[in-house]
Structure formats: C-alpha cells, structure tokens
Amino acid sequence: MIYAVDADTLPAAAILKFILRKKMIYDAHELMEESPEIQGKKFIQSFWESVQKIFVPFASCCITVGTEISKILEKKYKREFHVIRNVPQMEMHVSNPAFRKNIIWYQGAVNIGRGLEQMIISMKLLPDYEFHIAGDGDILESLILLTKENKLDDQIKFLGKCTPEMLRKESQKAKVGINLLSDQSLSYYLSLANKTFDYIAAGLPAIHMNFPEYQNLINKFQVGVTIPNLHSDHIVSAVRLIENNYNEYYENCLKAHDILNWKQEQIKWEKILIHDELLQS
C-alpha cells in the first residue's frame, strides 16, 4: 500500500503506485492551496490545486481530518473523502487539577496565523499566568523579540521542539490550552488541528476560534470555549471563564477522551480499509 500525505507527496506516490502495482491512499491534512503561507501567491496555489486534480483520481481511497474540509475536497475532486480524525492513543494517566499551575499552553508550529503574537500581548492583562510555547517555526525569533520589547520575559517561556513524551508531561502541568487561528486562511477556518485532541487527552481545557469544526466540538463536549476574534479582551475573558469553571471543564475533557481516542477511531478506519479492499494491498 502507498500512503500519500498532502499534495506535495502525491506525484511521487502515484508513480510508486504504478511501479509497485500497489493501491494508494491519499490523506489530505489541510486545504494545501489555501494555507496561509501561500495566500496571495496565485501561481503556487494554482499549481497545488492542479497537482491534486491530476493525481487524486489515482487514489484507491481518500481521507481527511474533518467534515468541513471533506465537503470542499469532495466537491472539487468528485471523490469521497472519508473523515478520520488524528486523535491520540488512550491516555491512561492524567494529572489531577490540584497539580495544575497557572500556565497557558501552546504546542505546534510557530508560524504566522496561529494567534501567538496576540496571546503574547494579552499576557500583559494576565499577570498571574505564564505562557509556554512548545514548538519551532518561521516566526519564533520575532516572538522572542516581541516578548523582550514588552518586558514579558518572566511570563513567557519558549520550550522549542519537544518530544511527544515531553509534550504529554508538560501539557499536563498547564491549566489552559490555546488554539488561536487567523480567519484569513480558508484552510485554518475549516481546520480541526491535532492539538485539539492532544489537549483533551491531557485534561487541558482550551480556547479555540468559533470556526465550524471547533464550535461543533465545544457544543458537543464542552471541553473549552470559543472566541470570535483575536482581540485581547476575548482571550482574557476566555482564560478567566475556564479558570472559574476549571473542574467542570477538566472532567468534560476526561469524558470526551473516552470517545475521542485512536482506539475508537481505528474501528472506523478498519471498516474503510475492509470496504475498499485495502488491507492486503
């Protein structure tokens, strides 16, 4: 079986499919042509869209991470895109709320459009909290400079790239997770980030944007709050709301993780593999 993750691997995967005479799965993690890094770059956007139009038909099975993205992909490429969420394994040990500190936690790529600049500025209004950033990316140096310019060195910690084990350990020390995104990218607007489920697994209530996938998740499981934009007053109010109802949000995370874990998602994935006769390919 050949497994292609996102459009940049599709051409090579399709070639291997024919050379090895194997079936190919296409896993679209995002709307690549709508990612913020190439917004406004019409040629590059058109290129990646063309790549998918050419090579998606060669896939034996197509999957993606969320319902909203699947609707767009199915309309564009006239193929069914099954939704398989990238949820973590069942977490057996989650730290007690009594051991949580006033830490706001972010894990993931340190790139444009992740609301990190706005979170740093908002820390001026949250003097009783620290903000820990676990990850690396294009804007890391500018965030470090922004922190120094605002004299927030004592509140903001840059942890760099972390191992999965370190992420699990450190995230369970925090009280609030963040997944703040710009609405300038359709890919972000329709996203369902992996960290969403990592936060839930860590018993970490989180602040998300009120974009479709996140709003649906919050409405169903009450594992955090959503905000309409990246203004500091909304961010601060969301932190305080979680703080004031922390035990309830924490318990909701534990209940949600009983459903949102790979053991449950794997059942759906195996049914797709059997239906599309992919297990032996």
Helical (H) or strand (E) element with 61: strand 61-64
Same domain (yes/no): 209, 164: yes
Same domain for 74 and 21: yes
pLDDT at 39: 80
Q: How many domains does the chain have?
A: 2
Q: Do 38 and 68 share a domain, yes or no? A: yes
Residues 235, 143, single domain; the answer is yes
**Predicted model pTM:** 0.91
Q: Is residue 281 part of a domain?
A: no
240: domain CATH number? 3.40.50.2000
Query: Poorest-confidence range of 34-48, 94-108, 199-213?
Result: 34-48
pLDDT at 280: 55
C-alpha to C-alpha distances, 38 to 24, 75, 115, 254, nearest whole angstrom? 27, 22, 18, 37
pLDDT interval class at 245 (50, 70, 90): very high
Q: Does 113 fall in a domain?
A: yes
In 69-155 the beta strands, taken as DSSP E runs, fall at: 81-83, 103-107, 130-134
Bridge partner residues of 26 (DSSP): 4, 62
Same domain, 219 and 199: yes
SS3 145: helix
132 belongs to a structural domain: yes
Q: Is residue 92 in a domain?
A: no
Q: pLDDT category, 278, cuts 50, 70, 90?
A: low
| Percentage above 70 pLDDT, the chain | 98
| Same domain, yes or no: 43 and 107 | no
Inside any domain, residue 14: yes
The overall average pLDDT reported for the chain is 94
Q: Is residue 75 part of a domain?
A: yes
In whole angstroms, give the CA distance from residue 6 to residue 8.
6
> Do 69 and 146 belong together in one domain?
no
Q: Sorting pLDDT into bands at 50, 70 and 90, what band is 40?
A: confident
30 vs 129: CA distance, rounded Å: 32
Strands 176-179 and 156-160, bridge-based pairing? unpaired
Contacts of 17 (CB under 8 A, 6+ apart): 2, 23, 24, 58
Structural domain harbouring 56: 2-87+262-275
Residues 270, 246: one domain? no
Binned at pLDDT 50, 70 and 90, residue 184 comes out as confident
For the segment 92-106, the average pLDDT, to the nearest whole number, is 90
Asked if residue 84 lies in contact with residue 197, where contact means CB atoms within 8 angstroms, the answer is no
Q: Quick one: 117 and 246 in the same domain?
A: yes
Non-local (6+) Cβ contacts of 157 within 8 A are 130, 131, 132, 133
Do 208 and 103 fall into the same domain? Answer: yes
Note whether residue 201 is domain-resident: yes
Whether residue 280 lies inside any domain: the answer is: no
pLDDT value, residue 36: 79
Same domain? 68 vs 112: no
Q: What is the mean pLDDT of residues 250-267?
A: 95
Phi first, then psi, for residue 255 (nearest 5°) are -65, -40
Same-domain check for residues 114 and 204: yes
Residue-level pLDDT at 94 = 86
